[in-house]
A = this chain, B = another copy of it.
Amino acid sequence: MTDVAIGMDIGGTNTAIGIVDRGGKCLASAVVSTAQHEAVVSYVDAVSDTLQKLMARQTGWTLTGIGIGAPNGNFYRGTIEHAPNLRWKGVIPLAQMFAGRFGVKTVLTNDANAAALGELLFGAARGMRDFIVITLGTGVGSGIVVNGEVLYGHDGFAGEIGHTIYDPRGRACGCGRRGCLETYASAGGICRTVFELLASSTIPSELRAFSFRDLTAAHVTEAARRGDALACEAFAITGRILGLKLADAVAHTSPEAIFLFGGLAKAGDLIFTPTQRSLEENMLNIFHGKVKLLPSGLHGENVAILGAAALIWKELETKPS
C-alpha cells in the first residue's frame, strides 16, 4: 500500500487536482473547471467525481488527506472568504465539504502558503526554517515560513505582502485601496508600468503596437529578451519596487532566503537582477549579503498540486496520528 494525499489548486478558471505520494511525486492528475460552476455544491460534486475516478485507477493507494490551495483561503477555518476572482461569494466552508465527502483530514490555505510548503517539503527550501515565497502571477501572493512553520497569524491571513503599500497615492488596486505592491509587481502590474512608460517616454518599442487589453506579461518578457529598451525598463522598475518592499519583509521576519515563484519569475535575470540590486540597496545594514533571492526549486506542470498536497504531509509530520 502507498500512502497518498490529494492536492488541489483552485484558480479562478480551473482547478488542478492530483494524487501525490510522500516523496512529492504526482501519480495522477486532472483538471476541472472552476468558473463553470455557479453553485459551490455542483463544483464539489464535479471535483469529487473526478477524484473518485483518479483514485479508482489504482487499488494500492491509501488516502491520508486532502490539501487545498485557494485564493483567500483561511487555514484555521478551512474556508474561502470573499475571494474576488471566484463566483462563490461570502464565506465558503470548502474544507468541511470535501472532508464530508471523503471522510479524511482536509486542510485548506491560500495558494502562496501552499507554494511555500511545497518548496519546504519538495523544493529548494528543504532544510530551511525561515524563508518567504513570493508568487508573481495574476496577483502577488506570499507565504512566510518561520521556525519551519507557515506563519498564519491570529486570524489565519498572515502573509499578504502583495497588499503592503508601496505608494499610498499610487495605482488603484482590486482590494479597493491604492498603491499595493500587487499593482506593480504582478503580471498585470508590469503591463501597467509598460503603459506608463509608453505615455511618458519616447523610447521606440514593439509594445507600442499593443492595446491595454491585449498586452500580457509574456509579451513584455519576450520583448525584453529581444532587447526592447522600454520592456527592459519596465522590468527594471518592477524589480526596484519589488526589492524595496522585500527589504521591508526582511526587516519583519529576517528570512534566510526569498523565493520568487510564478509567471513573472520565469523571466529569470530580467526580474531577478533588478530585484536583487534593489533588495540589497534597501535592506538595513545588519542584513546585507545575508538574504538569498532564489528561483523556486519546483518545476513542471504540477507544482501547485504538490504544494497543496504538502499541506497534508506537513500536518502528518507535525501531529502524527
Contact = CB atoms under 8 A, between A and B. Distances in A.
Contact of A253 (B149, B252, B255, B256): B252
Contact of A256 (B81, B154, B163, B290): B154
Interface stretch (A202-210, A221-229, A243-251, A296-304): A243-251
30 contacts: A128-B154, A146-B146, A146-B153, A151-B253, A151-B254, A152-B254, A153-B253, A153-B254, A154-B254, A154-B255, A154-B290, A155-B254, A156-B254, A157-B287, A158-B253, A159-B252, A160-B251, A160-B254, A160-B286, A161-B252, A163-B284, A164-B247, A164-B248, A165-B244, A165-B247, A168-B244, A248-B248, A252-B252, A252-B253, A253-B253
A286 B158 contact: no
A251 B180 CA distance: 11
Contacts of A129: 154
B254 A157 contact: yes
Nearest to A251: B160
Nearest to A167: B167
Copies of this protein chain in the complex = 2
A255 B253 CA distance: 14
A111 interface: no
SS of A interface (majority): loop
Interface of A: 72, 81-82, 128-131, 144, 146-147, 149, 151-161, 163-165, 168, 175-177, 244, 247-249, 251-256, 282, 284-287, 290
A129 B129 CA distance: 20
**Most chain-B Cβ atoms within 10 A of its Cβ — which of A81, A129, A286?**
A286
A251 to B, nearest CB: 4
A168 B177 CA distance: 21
Contacts of A168: 244, 282
Contacts of A165: 244, 247-248, 282
B253 A287 contact: no
A155 B251 contact: no
Contacts of A163: 251, 284
A153 B255 CA distance: 6
A256 B249 CA distance: 19
Nearest to A282: B165
A147 B318 CA distance: 15
Contacts of A284: 160, 163, 175, 177
Contacts of A175: 284-285
